[in-house]
Every structure is written in structure tokens, then in C-alpha cells.
Structure 1
Amino acid sequence: MVNKLIQYLQGDQNAPGERKLVQKLDFFILTFCCLMYFLNYLDRTNLNNAYVSGMKEDLNFHGNQLNQINTVFTVGYTVGQVPCNIALYYIKPRIFFPTCMVVWAGLTMATAGAHSPGDIMAIRFFQAIFEASTFVGTHYILGSWYTEKELGKRSGIFTSSGLAGTMIGGFIQTGIHKSMNGRHGLTGWRWLFIIDGIITLPVAIYGYLLFPDTPRNTNAPYLTAEEKALAISRVPEVSERTPISWSFLRHCFSTWYWYFFTVLWIIAGETESFSTNALLALYMKSHPTKTYTVSQNNNYPTGVPAVGILSTLFWATLTDFLSGKRYLVGYWIGITGVITSALILAYPNNTSVHFGAYYWAGSVYACQATFFAWANDVLRYEEDSLRAVVIASMNMGSNAVNAWWSILFYGANFAPQFTRGMWAMIAVSIAMAMWTGLLVWMHVRTEKRREIEAITTVSEKEDGIPGMNEKAPVEGVSENV
């Protein structure tokens, strides 16, 4: 299995020593980042698993309090996006990522002691701020180390690790509920949070010891001096400026990158609403005619992230193979969102149709890897600080909208039909296809301008080299203009 994964990742490296370098990067960067994101999503989504496994009754949840807690988490997650990515500019990732993990692990374990929905709400807000570092921070790191031909597959594997956390979380809760429910006076859902926090700590220690930071500041003991130089040469050299200054902020807001990619991910984030709001689990919990067991409530929804993993790896690989045509996923999302919503609206009482539509909707998760890889591709020739802020702003904008969008359209009190949400999904899916086309146009226009500027620069340099043209230098004018 490991050999097949290595063969899947390798193949685009041609420079002497490049294959060995990338193998090392894949091992140390991907193992840590994937484990970090797996545990991140495990902590995050196990709230829903706990909710359907006794927490609702034990803490006397009512109405849409679960959605309110998720909204508070989203607010904290939104607040943390840009500061966390800017922090990576000042604090080495080898220190920053693991420290965030230790804090959120402690808060996860603290959730086991909650006595009311309000307790969980307060804990989740601060937990979200520290978890905000994982997703956008990793995409920034991947874009710092990998080339355009390598980035899609690595982004896909990273994103899939989070979906695996969503999928496996249900099975873990089922096992804990069966084996530990009532042990030492604690219910199964409380043990879930304790165990989640404990298993996070060894990964944080691994990060402190072996994460390689970025190419220009790495001190990783497993990279030779030649490999460090090669790593720097693989990515474009760009100008830099501090991200905390008025001139930098003016620069950010004067580019189209910030606006277009932020709106792209705002729309894309809402096309994931069926999955991120655990609608299948809520549908089962509120089914008008069927009663599902705790095991069924935890296990059946795992099919959604399973589809998401397959879709993510498929589209990440395909877009790498097609030289970075990440925009294709935007059109797939548009088709998927319209059809799945229409099916649920057309067959409101058909359980099989609902299950099938929710599973299919899981394929929309592919946009996470491809759209952030797209942003990294487009911003590859811009300064790192701008790339970091744009990537963080994408997730910040999406979560800012999702903070109220989920309550307005996908509150637990709308289960099991979520009619309002189905119409909202149709609208954002159409918007997704349209915005994708507009962003492609902007990207093509920028690439053409960059090519013209490069040709002009080369021409000017050639004109300034003695012997490259027949004209004698003009008196008083430097030859090296």
C-alpha cells in the first residue's frame, strides 16, 4: 500500500536528487499535516457523533442549539484564519502547528466535563481559534514546497485525511459507546472527547521534532545542504514585504486575487453544506417513520466522506494530469448541487433517494483540494505573504458566511426535509459555475499580461548587453538599463 502511494506521488521530478528530495518532503510534511488534519476533523465532527449518541439527552439540548454551537465554532474559526497564517510568517511552523494542537487537544478533553450546551459553546469558540491554523496553514506550506505538477495530488491527500477523520469518527464513537459507556461513571460520548484529545498529543510531539518549516528557513536534520538549495530553486523567487503594514494591506486589496478567490471559496463553502452540516445524520435522527440505532446513526453517514475522499483524489489527480485545470471541479459542483437538491425536493418521502443524494453530494468535497491548489498555482509568482493572506481570507470569508447560512437554511429544526436549504443549494450551485468561468477569464488575462511583461523584460536586457545590437550607446545613458 505504501509503495503504491509513493508511486502515485512520484513521477514529475527530473532534476538530479529531486525525486529523493520530494520523497523526504512527502514523508515528513504529508504525514504530519495529514495526521494533524485527521485529528482536527475528528475533534470537530465528533460533536455531531456525540449529539446522536446521548449528548442531546444528557445535556438537554433543544431547538437548534447544536447549530448555534456550530455557529460559535465557525465564528472562532473565522476570527483565527488570517492571524494564524500571518503568524506562520513570524513563528516557525515547526513550533506554531504543534502548539496549536496541544491547546486544542486540551480543550477537546475539557468538553468531556461539559454540563450544558453553553459550556460546550464556550469551549468550542476557543478551540476553533487554534484549529484555524490547520487547513489554510497547510495549504500555504504545500504551496511553499511543491511545484504545480505536484501540488494537486498532495492537496488531495491532505484534504482526504480530514474527510477520513469525519468518516472514521462515526466508527470510533460506535466502538467507544459499546466498550466504554458507563465506565468510571462516564457516558460513551464523554469518553470520545477524552480519547480524541489524548491521541492528538503524540502527533504534536512529532511535529515539534521533525516538521521542516519552509524552504528558506528549514533546519530539518534529514535534508542535506544540496537538498535545501534544490528545494529553494524549485519554487519561484519572489519579492517580500512584511504582512503587517499599511502598504501591504493596500497591495492586497488592489489585486484581483483577494476578491476573486475569496468569493470563490465563499460560494464553494456553501455548496458543501449538505455534508458540513451533517444533514444525513440529522435526517436519520428526525426520520418521520423509521427509528435508527446509535450504531446506525454513527455508521451510515460515513458513506458521505468516503465518497468525498474518492472524489477528492480523482479530481486532484486529473487536474494535475491536465496541467492544472482546477476549474473543472467548479462545473462539477454546479451540476451536482442542482441535481441532488432537485431529487430531494422531487421525492420528499423517499428514503433511498435521500440517502443516494446525500452520498452523491459528498463528491463536492473535491473542491477543497483543487480550489486551494488553484490559488497556490495562480499566486505562485506573487510574494509569499500575499499568498498566505489570500488563502486564509478564502477560508475566513467562507466561514463568516457559513456562521449564519447554516442556521438560516440547515438548522436542525428544519429536519428532515430541509426544503429551504435545497433551494439555497440550487442557487449557490448555479453561482458556482458562473463564478468559476469568470475566474478562469481573469486568470487567462493575467497570464497573458505576465508573458508580455516577461518578453519585454528579456528584450530590454538584451538591448542593454554590448554586442547584442548594432546601435552605439547614447552618450550619457547607461548601457545596462
Structure 2
Amino acid sequence: MSLKNRIREYFHTDYRPGERLLVQKIDFFILTFCCVSYLVNYLDRNNLANAYVSGMREDLNFVGNQYNEILVCFTIGYVLGQIPCNLSLHYIKPRYFFPMMMCLWGGLTMVTASVQRPQSIMAIRFFLGLCEASTFVGTHYILGSWYTERELGKRSGLFTASGLAGTMIGGFIQTGIYERLHMRHGMAGWRWLFIIDGLLVFPVALYGFFLFPDTPHTTNAPYLSEAERELARSRVPPPQREKSPITLGFLKKVLTSWYWWGFVMLWVIAGETESFSTKSLLHLYMENHPSIEYSVPQKNNYPTGVPAVGIISTLFWATLTDFLGGKRYLVGYWIGITGVVTSAMILTAAKDPTSSLSTRMTFAAYYWAGSVYACQATFFAWCNDAMRYESPVFRSVVLAGMNLGNNAVDAWWGIVFYPASTAPWFNRGMWAMIATSIALAIWTAILTYGVWRLHRNRAINEAPGQSTGLDPEKSGHHVGTKESSSV
């Protein structure tokens, strides 16, 4: 088939009767809630970096690596919450659980405005991490429950891009708050940031409580007719019945499965290639520049270029891998190249730190490195694709395990390789990034081969049995089944 015909087929999909309207409905109600909730999630998560460079460090007398220690406290809570939050979706309806967690993290964000010392922020951020653990992997589980394989990448990309948009606009919001509200009623601008970000959460939570559709097999959404609910269930594989996951047998199944080790290790490695952005290294570079004194608006606005690049990269790769039939692994190779080259650029710039060329090269490297955010959407879509015929609870645990594994490493990774005391160049971290990027390319190749074996065996077996997930050679699950779907 020619490229022109493939493009035409991709953008002009045949629908079954009523399917186009169904997809439009679930796109509106699922994606609006998930994307806006993730946007405010990232606002609440990343406002710490904006506040830190907008007066919080001086007002609260931060010393040493206390900023990194706060990040670790959040990460520990985030790790501990991953699997319990995703398992909760099987006992509490998502339209109740997601808004409940949102209200909790919104309240905690507002409480941060009252702190008087860094240790108080550490305690708050731990519980904030517990609550925010519900959003990312929970949404990927929901997306994998509703959308066909050909639809999934783009929706995952839109979801990830919404979080990056929260990171990007957070800088502009902080700039506006600082300029207009700083010392209003005697309160510093960075404190107003936490109050306003927290307030934004509650209307979104209310929207989800009334209109989120849960999953195809449990939905009672008033805007879906019974015929549309049946059609929604027919678009995805019927869920395999899984006994209660709170058993040793289920734990053994998970920990001995190829899915768990393959995809958890993928995200353990890939997640650390995002360290340039998630550790706010460009903020710290500007805060500690050897020759330039940046203003507060500059320190908040210039780093927004990183998530802007991330949004473009995420949407590009999510759409491209859908168009190429789910070849999510291509992103792994792109990130491997990006991580090696951008780290080398910063190491080179550090040799002449006060020159204008050094500054330009460093900014270019951090902006380019923002493109690695594409792996969030594509790699979680990859896992959803591969586990499409597994039980929902098994799939949800593996998705949660991916984020758990990465954040368990991330809890100490920043302290070891990117402590604030090594700003502005983070030489140790640059070498760690090079090694991580090479490891990602190698693991991507290994996992690609494993998924290819799954694809081949399901194509051979006309009547595949229930997979145990123990060995891809014994599993008959095809990750490339085509279904009628929309763009």
C-alpha cells in the first residue's frame, strides 16, 4: 500500500453504526476530565520549583540539599500510592475515587501556603504524593479500557501533553501572581501560588464526580444509551475474570510474569531520562549561573520552553506510532540519541562557563531534552497494547508497577546525581544520563523482540487460551489486532 493510501486510511476510518458518535462522546467526557485533572495535577506538583526561585528559598531559609529532600518525600509518597490507588479502581468507582483524591491533594496544596520551614513542606509533599499517585497510572488504565489499539496512542499523547501544559503555564501563572499579588495582604507571591493552584482543583473534581463514565463494563453514564454501552464493550476484548488480587497467588502471577519485568524495567530506565526536566535543572542552572543574574520572571518563564518542546514531541510520536501500527519502540531509540547528545552538549558548555556560547548551548540542550517526554504516552500505550487480552486487574497492576519502579529509583536518583549543591553543571548527572540513555536503547531492543514474539504467536494460534503472563513464548496474545476505530 502506498504512503498516500496509508495516510488516507489512517484519517478516514470506517465506523460501525453509531460508533462515530460513541467515540466522540467518550473523547469529550473522558479526555476533558483526565486532561484537565492532569494539568492541575502538574500545576500542584511543579509549583514547588517556581516557588523556590521566587522567594521561598530565602523566606524559609533553605540550606544544603533540602530542596532535593522535599522532592524525595513527594516521591516516596508517590511510590507507596501507585499500586493501592490502581487497585482501588476495582473496588471504588473511578468517578468517585478520582475526585476524592483530587480534593485531598488540592487541600494539601493550599495548606502549603502556610508553612514556615522546609520540614513542614516535606511532610505535606509526602501526603501530596500519596494522593497524586491516583492520576497518571489510573488514567492510563482507563484509556486502555475504553480505546482500541489504533486510537490509544493519540489519546495517551493528549493526556501526557496536558500535564506538560500544566508545567509550562505554571511558570507564567507564577510570574503573574508574583507581579500582581506579591505582598498583597502581607503575603508573599509564592504563597499565593499554592492557594490559587489548590483552588483550581475543586471544580474539576466536581465535574468528574457527575460525568466521568467509569469503564465500558461498569458505566452508567446518563449520556450513553444502552446500545452505546454494548457497542463500547464490543470494541475492546471482554475482561477476563480475576479473583481478588489480594492473594499470594496473584502476587506470584505478577512477579513471575514477563509483562511485569519487561515493562517495569522499561519505565525504570526511561523515567530517569526525563531527569533534566523533572529535577528542574534549568531552573537551578539559571539560579546559579556563573555570570548572569536572572530576574524572577525570567527564572519562571524561560524554563517553560522545555515542556513546550515536550508537548510537540509527545503529540508527534503518539500520532506517528499509531500511524505506523503501534511501533512504540521507535521512541526508545530517539530518547537514547537525545540523552547522549544533550548531555555531551552540557559537559562541553561547562568547560567555558561564562561565555555566551556556553549559555546558548546549555539552553539548547535543555530545550531539546524536553522531547524525551514523548516516552510517557508511548510506553504506557505500549504496555496497554501488549496486555490488551489480559485481565483488567493484572493490567492495572503492571501499569502501576511501571510508575512504582521508576519512582522508587527516582527517590534517590536526584540526590545522588543531581543534588542542588552541584548546580549549575551537574557533571555527575550528565554522565549518568549518557549511561541511562544507552541502557534504554538496549532494553527497548530486547522488549521489542519479546512483543514481536507475542504478536507472532497470537497470529499463529487461531483460538488462543488464557495467558498466564509467565512466558511470551507460551502466551498467545497478539498486540496488533485491528479494529474499526476513529482517529
TM-score of the superposed pair, with normalisation by structure 2:
0.91
Whole-angstrom CA distance in 1 between matches of 2:238 and 2:256? 22
How many aligned residue pairs are there? Answer: 450
What amino acid does structure 1 have at the position aligned with 2:171? G
Sequence identity, in percent? 65
- Corresponding letter in the other structure for 2:206: I
Q: Secondary structure at the match of 2:135?
A: helix
Superposition pairs of residues 78-89 of structure 1, within 5 angstroms: 78-89=79-90
Return the match for 2:396 from 362, 365, 388.
Answer: 388
Which letter does structure 1 place at the counterpart of 2:444? T
**Superposed, which structure 2 residues align to 1:155-304 within 5 Å?**
155-241=156-242, 242-304=244-306
What's the CA shift for 1:11?
4.6
Q: In 1, Cα distance between the equivalents of 2:425 and 2:109?
A: 32
Q: How far did residue 254 of structure 1 move? A: 2.3
**Unpaired stretches in structure 2, ≥5 consecutive residues:** 1-9, 466-487
CA contact (8 A) 2:266 2:443 kept: yes
CA distance in structure 1 between the partners assigned to 2:97 and 2:463 by the alignment: 41
Native 8 Å contact 1:313 1:366 kept in 2: yes
- Matched residues in 1 for 2:345 and 2:436: separation? 16
- Residues 402-421 of structure 1, C-alpha deviations (whole Å, 9 max, x = no match): 00001100111110010000
CA distance in 2, matches of 1:342, 1:333: 14
Equivalent in the alignment of 2:340: 338
The reply to whether residue 66 of structure 1 matches residue 67 of structure 2 is yes
1:226-273 deviation per Cα after TM superposition (whole angstroms, max 9, x unaligned): 100000000011312122222211211221000010000000010000
Distance 1:43 1:10, change over 3 A: farther
Deviation per CA, 1:266-295: give whole Å up to 9, x if none: 000100000000111100000010000000
User: Which residue matches 2:46?
Assistant: 45
Q: Does structure 2 retain, via aligned residues, the 8 Å contact 1:270–1:428?
A: yes
CA apart distance, 1:12: 3.8
CA distances 1:12-47 after superposition (whole Å, capped 9, x unpaired) = 451111110010011000000001000000000000
8 Å Cα contact 1:10-1:19 kept in structure 2: no
Aligned Cα RMSD in Å?
A: 1.3
1:26 — aligned with what?
A: 27
* In 2: Cα distance, 1:409 partner to 1:436 partner: 23
Alignment of 1:66-145 (within 5 A): 66-145=67-146
Is contact 2:103-2:205 (8 Å) kept? Answer: yes
- Secondary structure at the residue paired with 2:185? helix
- Paired residue secondary structure (1:183): coil
Question: Pick from 432, 440, 459: which aligns with 1:432?
Answer: 440
1:222 is aligned with what amino acid?
Y
Letter in 1 for 2:446: L
CA distance in 1: counterparts of 2:232 and 2:137, whole angstroms: 21
Unmatched segments (≥5 aa) in structure 1: 1-8, 458-481
Matches of 2:464 and 2:24 in 1, distance apart? 38
Deviations 1:195-240 (A, max 9, x none): 1111110000000000000001101000010100000000011312
For 1:278 and 1:333, how far apart are their aligned partners in 2? 18
1:441 aligned partner: 449
Shift of 1:454: 2.5
Matched, 1:375 2:377: no
Partner Cα separation in structure 2 for residue 52 and residue 119 of structure 1: 18
Other-structure match for 1:4 = none
Q: How far did 1:299 drift?
A: 0.1
Alignment match, 1:470:
none
CA distance in 1, matches of 2:61, 2:366: 28
| Distance in 1 of aligned mates of 2:461 and 2:250 | 23
Kept after mapping to 2: 8 A contact 1:329/1:366: yes
Distance in 2 (CA, whole Å) between partners of 1:351 and 1:339 is 16
Question: For 1:411 and 1:22, how far apart are their aligned partners in 2?
Answer: 46
Q: TM-score, normalised by structure 1?
A: 0.92
What pairs up with 1:353-432 in 2 under 5 angstroms?
353-432=361-440
Higher CA-based Rg: 1
Does the residue aligned with 1:223 lie in a helix, a strand or coil? coil
> In the alignment, residue 329 of structure 1 is paired with which amino acid?
V
* Change over 3 Å in CA distance of 1:13–1:421 after alignment to 2: farther
Q: Say which SS state the counterpart of residue 460 (structure 2) adopts.
A: helix
Q: Which structure dedicates a bigger proportion of its chain to helix?
A: 1
